[in-house]
Structure 1
């Protein structure tokens, strides 16, 4: 990745601040429009810098994407691992702990979920390989969690865990979609909402409506 030796960006903005501005704009562009449809020119225009300056800071479009992806990939993995490892009296069920960790890790940059799960990444590219690495690592954690839940419930068919893992990813994606459309909802509010939804689902599934 290309770098500048100057400590300041354009118009007296410190380099570190300018980099944060660029990354924030890039995350929104990649998250909203996808890698393929996002242009470096659009990101530069949002920040008010030139394309050459952006390239000097972050290199190519792919380098900029990776600069957006890597921090959130690490942050999500660490948050999910910590949530799954949490035990003790009074602890929430594992799915709710993981969802709370997800919302907390994404707070402030919710679109990064769709930077990670971007179907428009060029096949075989470094960007696609890196995103797949994080997605596979998250899927591995989901597989462990769903298998443990089904084992506790007495389920024996291994395909049940695989089906639930895919359903879980879809649920997380749907909830983040909804969260983006409701920006006033805090991570705490989303966690409480999920708790209510899980409780309602359990009641619906265990209620005998034939009576």
Structure 2
């Protein structure tokens, strides 16, 4: 069997095991058994449990980012781009619950260096959303008044909300990816729309 195919089998088994049992509880023995290979072969290909977990994070991060980017048409209106991206995000996390558990729960709670690996993926998505919000501001008025820091803050808030909602939606069998995306659009885009039209919310005077 080609090495690439064998490695994919090992990573598939590892993602399933890490996602279901957690990093600390998962053993190389059960990963090897699920992959249908010997434990020494897993070590030969992927060196250690830590390296195997890192490989899982990197593969699943790339798959998630690719799914979101592929779903978005760059020339579409900003709200359509965000809608398509959110639907792809929620669909991917729902279709790959073990992978999302690895990225959202396990990698962050186990600590460094795994959390840093996930942050690379998160920053890529935040950068994408930041550019989308900035483009929407430019389209709304030729001289957008939104400072870069505020645009970045909005992007971080939106991505954080999507991550939290995906974690909740994956525990609710009746919530579809479409419904989750619509929930976040109703929560976020109405406010963003007012902001783009020059009607930002202002705190009441003290």
Structure 1 pair 69–164 and aligned structure 2 pair: CA distance change class (3 A)? same
Partner of 2:122 in structure 1?
A: 135
How far, CA to CA, are the matches of 2:116 and 2:49 in structure 1?
A: 15
Partner of 2:203 in structure 1?
A: none
Offset, 1:173? 1.2
Out of 56, 66, 81, the residue aligned to residue 69 of structure 2 is 81
Moved more, 109-118 or 172-181: 109-118
- Tell whether the 8 Å contact from 1:30 to 1:38 is kept in structure 2 after alignment: yes
Structure 1 pair 52–98 and aligned structure 2 pair: CA distance change class (3 A)? same
- Tell whether the 8 Å contact from 1:26 to 1:65 is kept in structure 2 after alignment: yes
How far, CA to CA, are the matches of 1:84 and 1:15 in structure 2?
A: 29
Partner of 1:4 in structure 2?
A: none
Partner of 1:144 in structure 2?
A: 131
How far, CA to CA, are the matches of 2:108 and 2:136 in structure 1?
A: 29
Structure 2: stretches of 5+ with no match in the other structure:
195-206
Query: In the TM superposition, what are the counterparts of 1:1-211 in structure 2 within 5 Å?
Result: 7=1, 16=5, 19-32=7-20, 34-36=22-24, 38-44=26-32, 46-47=34-35, 50-88=38-76, 93-106=80-93, 108-117=95-104, 118-123=107-112, 125=113, 127=114, 129-150=116-137, 152=140, 156-182=146-172, 189-195=176-182, 198-199=185-186, 202=190
- Tell whether the 8 Å contact from 1:96 to 1:194 is kept in structure 2 after alignment: yes
Structure 1: stretches of 5+ with no match in the other structure:
1-6, 9-13, 207-211
User: What count of residue pairs does the alignment treat as equivalent?
Assistant: 187
- Tell whether the 8 Å contact from 2:10 to 2:35 is kept in structure 1 after alignment: yes
- Tell whether the 8 Å contact from 1:27 to 1:109 is kept in structure 2 after alignment: no
Offset, 1:98? 0.7
Alignment TM-score, normalising by the size of structure 2: 0.65
Offset, 1:160? 2.8
